[in-house]
């Protein structure tokens, strides 16, 4: 018999007919009640086993984690907590799960323990909910851009350029480690490597996306990116997914408008589609907050936080204004920041970003017009900036609890200015000849940004460690699974 998904059974208005459900046993109570979950929803369907007419052998095999097929009559539930249940007439154990060995017991496990069991943690309520929300969010991303006529571009994973100029790249090579070919000067001879040149995993698809925006107008990427930065924090992954829209003829203001509208739209979409999962995650967060001192607890619930972002404009503040605020802030004056802000030009650390968002403005913030020398080479130099205090048309979006969620800019469209900037930073023209071509042939104002997908998932799910919102996290010293 064809089986029906649990979500459809729970939503069905018709009862008293025979159905089959397949899934994994979450709990088995009183030798009678199976809570069955198949991943289609956070909710389990209760299956009532006729234990008097079921062989003892079979009952013993109904254990947490076992895969079962259950056939019976769908009926209105007598018990509380569910509308329908299955009165079981036939049960088949599809895959046993030895309770002595199965790590995911029906009790609260720590997130650390679950990370070590990332292949099984998705069988818990929390991770099922997180991964369904992640899936819906990624669909929302495509939906948003597709409805606006953006073209989805797949930029290369293996590249020969360093888009961010930060040098935090994983090398890609087919050369043997023990017998690396050398040039006469003693350097590694990449001419003998697979691609005949030095290559790495991409840190961003932006530069390639820009070339496509200069033909297709509005484009976006959504793919994996890699950073070999040794940041062991709850906000950094070595492999993460980034969404990078790039739009011809957009200036920085239009770029900020797009980013804000985009974030609000995908959150709205997800609230509408993921009611049950978000309700669960909201409760999970409330429970977690209970273990914190009152002062550290959030004033808002998860859904209040999400709705707050939808209902309020992001506060737009220039870097210069932000520095003034930070310099005069209590934690700066009292030496509470790890990095004390002394003067204009300082790079902002996440403690500063979070102060601005969480303590000062208490809403999402877009910082713009950063000092040129703390930002990447491709950002457009502002027209009337003081010598020594040059700023670029950059913008970062900062979110409560997250810090930077988006980084973007208007791009330097002037060939001469761009080349000068590259020279100053020691970037070879030959390395980016193709990028420079876009400034030679039909150059135009254009802008874009990158949103770290996992940081968005963190915000929407209310989780606090980025390792918990991607199925198999890649971080320093960890590439298990
Ligand atoms: O600010 P970033 O480095 O900007 C770029 O890569 C630009 N090329 C984007 C563009 O303009 N098209 O990275 C963009 C975003 C950050 O704001 C952050 O959300 C996320 O990517 N991000 C990370 N997320 C997880 N782990 C990491 N190690 C991340 N590094 C950046
Ligand atoms: Mg950034």
448 lines ligand 1 (CB under 6 A): yes
d(CA 277, CA 461): 9
**Mean pLDDT of all residues in 161-172:** 85
pLDDT of residue 166: 76
pLDDT of residue 13: 87
Class level of CATH domain 123-168+203-468:
alpha beta
450 lines ligand 1 (CB under 6 A): yes
pLDDT of residue 131: 98
User: Is the separation of the CB atoms in 165 and 435 below 8 Å?
Assistant: no
Residue 216 clears pLDDT 90, i.e. is over it: yes
Please, which pLDDT band fits residue 164 given cuts at 50, 70 and 90?
Answer: confident
pLDDT of residue 385: 82
Residue 423 clears pLDDT 90, i.e. is over it: yes
pLDDT of residue 325: 97
What letters, b where the CB count within 10 A reaches 16 and e where it falls short, cover 269-306? Answer: bbbebbeebbebbbebbeeeeeeeeeeeebeeebbebb
**Mean pLDDT of all residues in 229-241:** 94
Please, which pLDDT band fits residue 344 given cuts at 50, 70 and 90?
Answer: very high
Alpha helices in 316-404, H assignment, sequence order: 319-327, 330-333, 350-354
Bridge-based pairing state of the strands 391-399 and 45-48: unpaired
What letters, b where the CB count within 10 A reaches 16 and e where it falls short, cover 465-478? Answer: ebbbbbeebbbeee
pLDDT of residue 36: 98
Please, which pLDDT band fits residue 133 given cuts at 50, 70 and 90?
Answer: very high
Could you report the per-residue pLDDT of 444-455, keeping only the tens digit for each?
Answer: 999 999 999 999
- Candidate from 242, 403, 455 with most ligand 1 atoms within 8 A of CB, to mutate: 242
Please, which pLDDT band fits residue 348 given cuts at 50, 70 and 90?
Answer: very high
Please, which pLDDT band fits residue 33 given cuts at 50, 70 and 90?
Answer: very high
Bridge-based pairing state of the strands 218-226 and 151-152: parallel
455 lines ligand 1 (CB under 6 A): yes
DSSP character at residue 23: E
403 lines ligand 1 (CB under 6 A): no
Neighbours of 121 (CB within 10 A): 22
Write the residue with the smallest CA distance to atom 31 of ligand 1. 452
Write the residue with the smallest CA distance to atom 24 of ligand 1. 452
**Mean pLDDT of all residues in 123-148:** 98
Ligand closest to Cα of 410 equals: 1
Expressed in angstroms and rounded, the spacing between residue 404 Cα and the centre of ligand 1 is: 8
Residue 34 clears pLDDT 90, i.e. is over it: yes
Map out the domains of the chain as residue ranges: 6-105, 123-168+203-468
Expressed in angstroms and rounded, the spacing between residue 90 Cα and the centre of ligand 1 is: 52
**Mean pLDDT of all residues in 36-59:** 96
d(CA 76, CA 83): 6
d(CA 481, CA 476): 14
Could you report the per-residue pLDDT of 278-308, keeping only the tens digit for each?
Answer: 999 999 999 999 988 888 888 899 999 999 9
Give me the architecture of the 6-105 domain, per CATH: Beta Barrel (2.40)
Could you report the per-residue pLDDT of 64-114, keeping only the tens digit for each?
Answer: 999 999 999 999 988 777 789 999 999 999 999 999 999 999 889 999 999
Residue 384 clears pLDDT 90, i.e. is over it: no
Which atom belonging to ligand 1 lies closest to the Cα atom of 203? 6
Q: Look at residue 381 and give its three-state secondary structure.
A: strand
């Amino acid at each position: 018999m064809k089986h029906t998904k649990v979500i459809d059974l729970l939503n069905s208005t018709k009862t008293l007919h025979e159905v089959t459900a397949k899934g994994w046993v979450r709990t088995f109570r009183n030798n009678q009640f199976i809570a069955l979950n198949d991943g289609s929803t956070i909710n389990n369907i209760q299956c009532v086993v006729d234990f008097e007419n079921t062989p003892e052998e079979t009952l013993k095999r109904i254990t947490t984690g076992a895969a079962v097929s259950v056939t019976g009559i769908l009926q209105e539930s007598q018990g509380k907590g569910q509308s329908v249940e299955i009165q079981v007439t036939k049960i088949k154990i599809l895959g046993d799960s030895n309770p002595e060995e199965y790590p995911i017991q029906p009790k609260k496990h720590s997130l650390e323990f679950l990370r070590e069991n990332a292949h099984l943690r998705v069988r818990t309520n929390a991770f099922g909910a997180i991964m369904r929300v992640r899936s819906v969010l990624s669909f929302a991303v495509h939906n948003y851009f597709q409805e606006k006529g953006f073209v989805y571009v797949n930029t290369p994973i293996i590249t020969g350029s360093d888009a961010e100029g930060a040098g935090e790249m994983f090398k890609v090579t087919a050369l043997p480690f023990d017998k690396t070919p050398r040039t006469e000067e003693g350097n590694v001879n990449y001419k003998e490597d697979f691609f005949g040149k030095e290559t790495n995993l991409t840190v961003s698809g932006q530069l390639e996306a820009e070339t496509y925006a200069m033909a297709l107008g509005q484009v976006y990427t959504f793919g994996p990116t890699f950073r070999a930065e040794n940041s062991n924090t709850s906000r950094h992954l070595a492999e993460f997914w980034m969404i990078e829209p790039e739009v011809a003829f957009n200036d920085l203001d239009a770029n900020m408008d797009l980013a804000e509208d985009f974030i609000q739209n995908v959150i709205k979409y997800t609230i509408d589609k993921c009611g049950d999962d978000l309700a669960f995650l909201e409760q999970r967060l409330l429970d977690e907050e209970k273990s914190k001192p009152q002062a550290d607890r959030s004033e808002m619930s998860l859904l209040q936080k999400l709705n707050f972002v939808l209902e309020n404009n992001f506060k737009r503040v220039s870097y210069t204004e932000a520095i003034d605020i930070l310099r005069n802030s209590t934690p700066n004056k009292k030496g509470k920041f790890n990095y004390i802000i002394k003067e204009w030009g300082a790079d902002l650390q996440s403690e500063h970003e979070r102060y601005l968002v969480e303590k000062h403005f208490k809403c999402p913030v877009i910082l713009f017009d950063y000092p040129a020398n703390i930002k990447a080479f491709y950002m457009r130099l502002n027209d009337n900036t003081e010598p020594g205090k040059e700023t670029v048309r950059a913008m970062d979006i900062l979110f409560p609890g997250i810090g930077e969620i988006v980084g973007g800019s208007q791009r330097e469209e002037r060939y001469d200015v761009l080349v000068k900037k590259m020279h100053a930073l020691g970037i070879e023209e030959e390395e980016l000849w193709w990028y420079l071509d876009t400034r030679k042939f039909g150059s135009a104002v254009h802008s874009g940004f990158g949103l770290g997908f996992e940081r968005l998932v963190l915000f929407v799910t209310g989780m606090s460690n980025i390792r918990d919102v991607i199925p198999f996290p890649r971080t320093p010293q960890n590439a298990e699974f």
